[in-house]
Amino acid sequence: MRITKALSTLLLAGTALLAPAGAAAAQSPSPSAGTASAPTEAGTGFRTATALETGQKATAGASTGDYLYWQFPAGAGQRATVKATVRLPEAASRTGAATWRIDVFDGLRRRQACAFGAPAQRASQQDTSVTLTCTLRTVRAWSEQWANDPLPGAYYVRLTATDVPDRDLGRPVKAEIEATAEDAGGAHDGGGQLGAPLHAAAVSEPEDGWNGSWLTDRWGWTVGGAVLCALAAIGGYTLTRHPHRGSHPPVRH
């Protein structure tokens, strides 16, 4: 019983090592996002794109038909989501429906596909607002030159309206945009590192760096699993090497 109880204690201790792994890999919100003043305008092109910090809610006044640009940082292992809400003019001042859309580009200005979300929405004449979302694929630490994988660096967001009636062009709108990034976990860690972020001079570096933190949940599970295997091997050896004495009475002649 003592050996069994001791083995159980060791196994529980080894299991406890696995618990902090997920917590250590989880991304906490950047403390600077709440202290820096949120931008109140947008750029009109890639070169003038307004820099955002992840977690900030930026606003901008514009006219229907304008192209609005922002940029934000994303590091390896992160999955970024962009959400934009457009407050539309009064229905009485509009003559028809319009399609609003957001497009996301990486630091090389390559358009990135949305893995989830609704990056384009049709707003009817009666709608007062329209909301667009785009969740990108997980940012990789490195990639082949021919691939279009998302890599660490700056990401550009473009917001505009298409299929707008000519008489509605120039109508004032109010845009609100937010970019967030969460840790996708060690299962998406492909190894390798990019030499430098892609055109990220205007945006701040993520809290865990452009190449992500080396301490991911993959490392936690690996170390924890190794500890559990070692403890199980020691316990099994102890049970087979030193069986309980006195379980069978000695044979007397």
Say which CATH number the domain at 126 has.
Answer: 2.60.120.380
Tokens of 143: 């990639």
159 and 203 share one domain = yes
89 and 153 share one domain = yes
Asked whether residue 241 carries a pLDDT value surpassing 70, the answer given is no
Asked whether residue 216 carries a pLDDT value surpassing 80, the answer given is no
Considering its fold, how many domains does the chain have in total? 2
Do the beta carbons of residue 207 and residue 77 sit within 8 Å? no
Q: How far is residue 154's CA from residue 110's CA, in Å, rounded to a whole number? A: 11
> The whole model's pTM is what?
0.71
47 and 109 share one domain = yes
**pLDDT the model gives residue 25:** 41
In a domain, 138, yes or no: yes
In a domain, 83, yes or no: yes
For the packed helices 217-241 and 2-16, what is the interaxial angle rounded to 10 degrees? 170
In a domain, 253, yes or no: no
Tens of pLDDT along 82-138? 999 999 999 999 999 999 999 999 999 999 999 999 999 999 999 999 999 999 999
159 and 39 share one domain = yes
2 and 121 share one domain = no
Asked whether residue 219 carries a pLDDT value surpassing 50, the answer given is no
In a domain, 212, yes or no: yes
Which domain does 193 fall in, by range? 30-207
151 and 71 share one domain = yes
Among 35-44, 169-178, 201-210, 216-225, whose mean pLDDT is lowest?
216-225
Consecutive H or E run containing 217? helix 217-241
